[in-house]
Amino acid sequence: MAENHLLKPDNDLLTEEHQTNRWYYVLCLLVTATFLLEGYLHSYTIGLLVLAWIGIYRFQFKWDKDLKVALFYAGFYGLHIMGTLWSDNMPTVTHDLESKASILALPLIYIVFTSLSQRQVEGILTLFVGVVLTAAVWTLGKATGIYLKTGQTDQFFYHELGGLINMHAIYMSMYVCFAILILLQWLVSVWDKHGGLWLQISLIVTVFFLFGYNILLSARMPTLALCLVVFAGILKVFYDRRGLATGISIIVLTSGILIAGILLSPVNKQRYKEAFNGQSVDASRDLQDGRTLRLMKWDCCLDILKDNWLLGVGTGDIQDNLDQCYKAKKYNYLTDQDRHYNAHNQYFQTWLGLGIIGLLWFVALLIYPMYAAWQRQYYLHLGFIVMFAIVCTTESTLPVHKGVVFFMFFSMVLLFGKVPWPWRNVHV
């Protein structure tokens, strides 16, 4: 995208583009720095990016091949707008369109602004790791302080741990898992460049610290997704270096550490036991284990889709239909105390709201970047999308602003930022 400007020998134009790129980079850093802050602050940083687009380019577009990618994402947002035509709950419609606005805005912004350099993308990713690491240290410190005062240990696990910074454990785990992927790519790059021993040790220690923290968060599906992606990456790294046996040994060691962490943590032990030995829906309508609750939700999803598989129930009416089904089937825990549980599966969630076209469009939004990343050997991007797609099987990731921005922001950064495997110009 920047090449079109470089064809013009106007020094003023080059200076202007450099300034634009710098401010664009600063705003991206600001978005990254606010991921774990209050939601409204994060929304403001996205708003600043939009204002920069308006103020600098005045809604201009670059009519090149990248526009097709942006329109592909924008079309998904357009389906949500169309879904309002057969929705009755307009307040929910407004909230949904607002929370998903990044699906429309971020792709358009990224194709208009000057492309971020590889060094700038690495700066964004490094800052994200720093933000996640700071949050992990802060919450553990806060949990320790509570333990010293009260003797309680609940705050070291699951929602109680994430809740110390007002984060849902699943989203916090997704952030931590992505930070681990970034660190591992960095580690491979340093290793390939025969970098300093202390840097390698620091990266390894940080990875193990975040991995342990993620075990405390007790989020099963992000952890499973992380392991699948990391194990595949380990096999590739060591296969390329003709050390497959070493790679398999590392996988076995890592698996042992994970299993030990699960068995030593009462919360983890109980949650994984539920995943494999959950009661049937009929036998445990009032229980709270995650597997049973998801089976209840998916049962209602399938019931609703029997009559609404083509067009869905509309952008704003998903929750109303689910709540009605929960009550009709006497799934008491899902409705008591004014609870409103979503589908806990983004594929069902999208299908319920937008019909079969919306579901296929969403799947295409995952498959296309996977294919593009594989073709270009941008394996960090590939790992990010695969991990997100796996988590979507047990979580509705896009109804929440933090989930939407996480997916869209890093999808755009990694798609247009061009971070190869491993980082080519890493300084060690």
In this predicted model, what pLDDT tens digit does every residue of 112-125 receive, in sequence order?
Answer: 766 778 888 889 99
- Is residue 287 in a domain? no
Cβ within 8 Å of residue 249, ≥6 positions away: none
pLDDT value of position 276: 65
Give residue 245's pLDDT band: very low, low, confident or very high (50, 70, 90): confident
pLDDT value of position 421: 59
Residue 180 pLDDT > 80, yes or no? yes
- Is residue 16 in a domain? yes
Burial (Cβ within 10 Å: 0-12, 13-18, ≥19) of residue 116: buried
- Is residue 108 in a domain? yes
- Is residue 124 in a domain? yes
What value does the mean pLDDT of the chain take? Answer: 84
For residue range 306-349, list pLDDT tens digits in order.
999 999 999 999 999 999 999 999 998 888 888 889 999 999 99
Residue 412 pLDDT > 70, yes or no? yes
Residue 9 pLDDT > 60, yes or no? no
Please tell me which of 65-74, 139-148, 265-274 the model is most confident about, judged by mean pLDDT.
139-148
Least confident of 20-29, 62-71, 216-225: 62-71
pLDDT > 90: percent of the chain: 49
Looking at the structure of the chain, the number of domains it has is 1
pLDDT value of position 227: 94
Whose CA is closest to 419, among 41, 123, 30, 23?
A: 123
Instruction: Look up the pTM and report it.
Output: 0.89
Give residue 39's pLDDT band: very low, low, confident or very high (50, 70, 90): low
Quick one: average pLDDT of 401-425? Answer: 79
Quick one: average pLDDT of 363-381? Answer: 90
Give residue 195's pLDDT band: very low, low, confident or very high (50, 70, 90): low
**Dist. CA 76–CA 70, nearest whole Å:** 10
Where do we find the tokens 């299908």? Answer: 351
Burial (Cβ within 10 Å: 0-12, 13-18, ≥19) of residue 33: middle
Residue 41 pLDDT > 80, yes or no? no
Residue 365 pLDDT > 60, yes or no? yes
Q: What is the DSSP letter of 317?
A: -
Q: Residue 14 is part of which domain span?
A: 3-276+345-417
Q: What DSSP letter does each residue of 322-338 carry, written as one string? A: HHHHHHHTT-GGGTGGG
Token couple for 356: 């079969």
φ, ψ dihedrals at 385, nearest 5°? -70, -45
Residue 29 pLDDT > 80, yes or no? yes
Q: What is the CA radius of gyration of the chain?
A: 23
- Is residue 166 in a domain? yes
For 30, 154, 384, 406, the CA distances from 42, given in Å and listed in that order, are 9, 29, 21, 11
- Is residue 71 in a domain? yes
Q: Which residue has the higher pLDDT, 401 or 273?
A: 401
pLDDT value of position 260: 83
Give residue 21's pLDDT band: very low, low, confident or very high (50, 70, 90): confident
- Is residue 317 in a domain? no
What sign does the CA torsion over 371, 403, 124, 58 have?
positive
C-alpha triplet 161, 178, 48: angle, nearest 5°:
90
- Is residue 261 in a domain? yes
Note the helical H segments in 151-219: 158-162, 169-192, 197-217
pLDDT value of position 217: 93
* Helix, strand, coil fractions of the chain, as percent rounded to 5: 75, 0, 25
**Dist. CA 68–CA 107, nearest whole Å:** 10
